[in-house]
Amino acid sequence: MSYGADIAKGINDFINEHFLGEGEHVQSIVGEVIASLIMFIGFIIAGWIVYHVFEHYFTRWAKKTKTNLDDEILKNIKKPIYFFVIIVGAFYSIEFLSFLKDYQDFLRVVFILLEIFLVAFIITRVVNVLVAWYAEKRAKKNKKMSEHILFLLKKLINLFIYIIAFLVVLAVLKVDLTGAFVGLGVAGIAIGFALQNVLGDIFSAFTIYFDKPYEIGDYIVIGSQSGIVKKIGIQSTRLQTLQGEELVVSNNDMISTRIQNFKKMKKRRINFSIGVTYNTSLKKLKKVNEIIKSIIDPERDSNIFKLDRVHFKSFGDFSLNFEIVYYLKTADYVKYLNTQQEINFLLKEAFEKEGIEMAFPTQTVFLNK
């Protein structure tokens, strides 16, 4: 006999003794209902006490810690725990009612299911807080997680938790889990084939996130296309090309092709050539080296890291060719163009001053009379 039944019997005895005459007896259902109400109210009070302890004691303690992780966990679990106490109270408040005797097994299963899924719900809320906290911690280190990846990660973890809860429910119901696992396996294979491309893009998104071949803001080249990464989604990556239009590429295509990431460069290497005319004297040819070295000088331009080399490289079809290689301290494309433009201006100015002619495609035709 349960405690509820003992309380109900005590209430009936009390009523019979103090309120009814000799030979009169109150129906047992009266004591059971009163006992049920008393127990349920008692559990409501107990739940309120638990909630009050969380609200006024644990929360105050959590505010004194350096991190807000414990604050968020307490904030997200105090109400579900309160409802968990209420559900437990509701079960124990009705399990001894005689008019529900035929439904006791069914009610017991219902309440166990509610408790299992409520516990799973509490776990998912804690997991969501932990994932959000981890993402915030990374953001402070300038390693911000994609909101889409974050959302997907939460959903996948939550799905896994509810699948475990579902399997626990099957075990409680004494269902043969072998058949359930086979069914889940077949369903998984069918869904996998149906959503092959979508799942491929989703897993590719995780590969991009963890492997980090590129990040938002990087300038990348894929095949014949290039642009700045603006968004990394669950299914696709969006680039803004230099012409201004948006280029959308599936994540699966992104990880299956060769990617050049210019943002990863610590220094940019620049290689360019200039040509002067064949009628340039040897003295002036040697002067070209000195001019270039004086212009591509780190002391003159702070963006220049170093001049690697300057060489009179070859005799061309219509020009005497010099090859120049230097390094920039930055990988920024605009700063590279600005620096190269300034170098070109200075070279043109210096050559004009020294009387050195820059070559352009020409042909000399000799005619025999």
Confidence check: pLDDT of 195 > 60: no
Q: Quick one: 93 and 167 in the same domain?
A: yes
Domain of residue 240, residue span: 207-264
Calculate the alpha carbon distances from 75 to 64, 65, 68, 69 in Å. 15, 15, 11, 10
pLDDT at residue 74, as a whole number: 76
Mean pLDDT (whole number) for 326-346: 90
Q: Quick one: 137 and 69 in the same domain?
A: yes
Q: Quick one: 344 and 222 in the same domain?
A: no
Q: Quick one: 31 and 17 in the same domain?
A: yes
pLDDT at residue 1, as a whole number: 47
Confidence check: pLDDT of 207 > 50: yes
Query: CATH number for the domain including 323?
Result: 3.30.70.100
Instruction: Tell me if 133 is assigned to some domain.
Output: yes
State the burial class of residue 18 (Cβ atoms within 10 Å of its Cβ: 0-12, 13-18, 19+): exposed
pLDDT at residue 181, as a whole number: 63
Across the chain, mean pLDDT equals 80
Confidence check: pLDDT of 364 > 80: no
Query: What is the pTM assigned to this prediction?
Result: 0.51
Q: Quick one: 219 and 282 in the same domain?
A: no
Q: Quick one: 71 and 100 in the same domain?
A: yes
**148-171: burial string, b at 16+ Cβ within 10 Å, e else:** bbbebbbeebbeebeeebeebbee
> Distance between CA atoms of 136 and 155, rounded to whole angstroms?
18
Highest average pLDDT, of 249-258, 281-290, 327-336, comes from: 281-290
Mean pLDDT (whole number) for 165-180: 75
Q: Quick one: 295 and 323 in the same domain?
A: yes
Q: Quick one: 84 and 222 in the same domain?
A: no
> Distance between CA atoms of 7 and 365, rounded to whole angstroms?
122
Encoded tokens for 241: 């090309």
> Distance between CA atoms of 87 and 276, rounded to whole angstroms?
90
Instruction: Compute the C-alpha angle 224/230/235, nearest 5°.
Output: 80
Percent of the chain clearing pLDDT 70 (strictly above): 80
Instruction: Compute the C-alpha angle 225/229/231, nearest 5°.
Output: 125
- Of 264, 286, 304, the residue that ends a domain is 264
pLDDT digits (tens, 9 = 90+) for 116-142: 888 899 899 888 888 888 877 777 776
Instruction: Tell me if 183 is assigned to some domain.
Output: no
Query: CATH number for the domain including 217?
Result: 2.30.30.60
Count other Cβ atoms within 10 Å, centred on residue 178.
Answer: 8
Instruction: With beta carbons less than 8 A apart as the criterion, state whether 31 and 9 touch.
Output: yes
CA-closest candidate to residue 116, choices 147, 91, 151 = 91
- Of 264, 292, 310, the residue that ends a domain is 264
Encoded tokens for 262: 């210019």
Instruction: Tell me if 340 is assigned to some domain.
Output: yes
Query: Which stretches within 235-331 are classed as H helix?
Result: 251-255, 282-295
Instruction: Tell me if 199 is assigned to some domain.
Output: no
Instruction: Tell me if 197 is assigned to some domain.
Output: no
Instruction: Tell me if 288 is assigned to some domain.
Output: yes
Q: Quick one: 260 and 350 in the same domain?
A: no
- Confidence class for position 200, pLDDT limits 50, 70, 90: low
Q: Quick one: 134 and 274 in the same domain?
A: no
Q: Quick one: 255 and 327 in the same domain?
A: no
pLDDT digits (tens, 9 = 90+) for 217-257: 888 888 888 888 888 877 788 899 888 889 998 888 888 88
What domain count does the chain have? 3
Mean pLDDT (whole number) for 260-273: 84
Calculate the alpha carbon distances from 360 to 178, 196, 274, 277, 319 in Å. 81, 57, 10, 8, 7
Encoded tokens for 185: 């396996």
Give the three-class secondary structure for 366. coil
pLDDT at residue 347, as a whole number: 95
pLDDT digits (tens, 9 = 90+) for 55-110: 777 767 766 777 777 777 777 777 888 888 888 888 777 777 777 777 777 888 88
Instruction: Tell me if 252 is assigned to some domain.
Output: yes
Instruction: Tell me if 182 is assigned to some domain.
Output: no
Percent of the chain clearing pLDDT 90 (strictly above): 20
Q: Quick one: 232 and 333 in the same domain?
A: no
